Structure 1
């Protein structure tokens, strides 16, 4: 593929992308994310695509360093452009597709439109995400789910340039724990150089221990309740059946009253 970079004398420059390899690649196995504005999928989607663009030496198609109009006559360049645009459209939700689709856009324009949906209006997004981040509590969710929510919010803040430090992640994590983890939170001061991930791992183990204790207490209570119950009384022995040919006599009638005594 002829391009302004073909005469680059840099010995570490990557090889030219292969249009056939790009066309035949199954994008869903390389970017297993459906980008949607209703969830926190942008950071993962962009990360997968950045890895893929580096792996296939395709960054020049999205970073704006090359004028696409100058390369319009190159068939390999045009083929790769079509494949990349198809990748973007296949990995976004229908709402995003209808928002950014345009017949005349090149890859750089489509890439920029999609990213601006998640990084534009930075001040409004910053206020909203910070409120959600600092108001995040564990409630009835598991430690894994709670930590995942915090990490997704931190990723969204990072996308708009508001990086969340590990110390702040750790502080928010411990502040939002439910009351069941009160003792565990007080023991965190015993950990050497605690980090968000090390504390999350510790809390997961504590959660498992607490579940086992609760199950053991429940089992013990059931066993104690069963042992306190009175044993059921034995049913009365039934009368043995009469032998064959035996007919019991009817009960004797009551004796008549004695006659009154005559006076002498």
Structure 2
């Protein structure tokens, strides 16, 4: 099996410093950091399937490497999400793509309710509740 850049990652949290949590609105940031990391390590196809023609049949060695890489990407996902999300999406013999799609579904399903809640929170955010203008602006930016 040839060396793959994915095998050089010893701690995914050095590259993706966010722990994805259900209660926080950070899915977009987490997903983008994860996509960039996967792209830079040549494993993006494990979470974003190619729309091009299907790949040729894999040899046993290639299939073994694909399975190992997929398990590594799956470990990255599991290592960067909260325990609540982990217990929600973890299933035996799951692939990285299945876990990725489950997370996307969880956060997309909550999107409309989340928009209403964020709009209300944005409207109720007052400058006097913050120590300075910078903190106030940062909060508004996070909500927008």
Which bin holds the TM-score, normalised by the shorter protein?
Answer: 0.7 to 0.9
Matched residues, number = 137
Q: Is the 8 A contact 2:21 2:82 kept in 1?
A: yes
- Does residue 28 of structure 1 match 2:13? yes
What per-residue deviation string (whole Å, max 9, x for no partner) do you get for residues 154-194 of structure 1? 2xxxxxxxxxxxxxxxxxxxxxxxxxxxxxxxxxxxxxxxx
What per-residue deviation string (whole Å, max 9, x for no partner) do you get for residues 188-246 of structure 1? xxxxxxxxxxxxxxxxxxxxxxxxxxxxxxxxxxxxxxxxxxxxxxxxxxxxxxxxxxx
- Does residue 96 of structure 1 match 2:69? no
CA distance in 2: counterparts of 1:135 and 1:72, whole angstroms: 59
Deviation at 1:87, TM superposition (A): 0.3
- Cα distance change on mapping 1:110 and 1:19 into 2, 3 Å: farther
- Partner of residue 149 from structure 1, selected from 134, 139, 144: 139
Q: Is the 8 A contact 1:35 1:45 kept in 2?
A: yes
Deviation at 1:60, TM superposition (A): 1.3
What per-residue deviation string (whole Å, max 9, x for no partner) do you get for residues 29-84 of structure 1? 1101111122233232122112112212222111233879x769511111110000
Taking structure 2 as the reference length, the TM-score comes to 0.81
Unaligned runs of 5+ in 2: none
CA RMSD of aligned residues (A): 2.5
Greater per-residue helix proportion? 2
CA distance in 2: counterparts of 1:19 and 1:105, whole angstroms: 24
- Does residue 127 of structure 1 match 2:111? no
- Partner of residue 65 from structure 1, selected from 41, 46, 50: 50
The structure with higher relative contact order (CA 8 Å, sep 6+) is 2
Q: Is the 8 A contact 2:6 2:42 kept in 1?
A: no
Aligned to 1:5: none
CA distance in 1: counterparts of 2:25 and 2:3, whole angstroms: 32
- Cα distance change on mapping 1:115 and 1:72 into 2, 3 Å: farther
What SS does structure 2 have at the residue aligned with 1:51? Answer: helix
CA distance in 1: counterparts of 2:45 and 2:107, whole angstroms: 22
Q: Is the 8 A contact 2:20 2:27 kept in 1?
A: yes
- Cα distance change on mapping 1:105 and 1:31 into 2, 3 Å: same
Unaligned runs of 5+ in 1: 2-17, 155-264
What per-residue deviation string (whole Å, max 9, x for no partner) do you get for residues 241-261 of structure 1? xxxxxxxxxxxxxxxxxxxxx
CA distance in 2: counterparts of 1:72 and 1:61, whole angstroms: 18
Deviation at 1:134, TM superposition (A): 2.4
CA distance in 2: counterparts of 1:150 and 1:19, whole angstroms: 45
- Larger gyration radius, structure 1 or structure 2: 1
Aligned to 1:55: 40
- Cα distance change on mapping 1:85 and 1:47 into 2, 3 Å: same
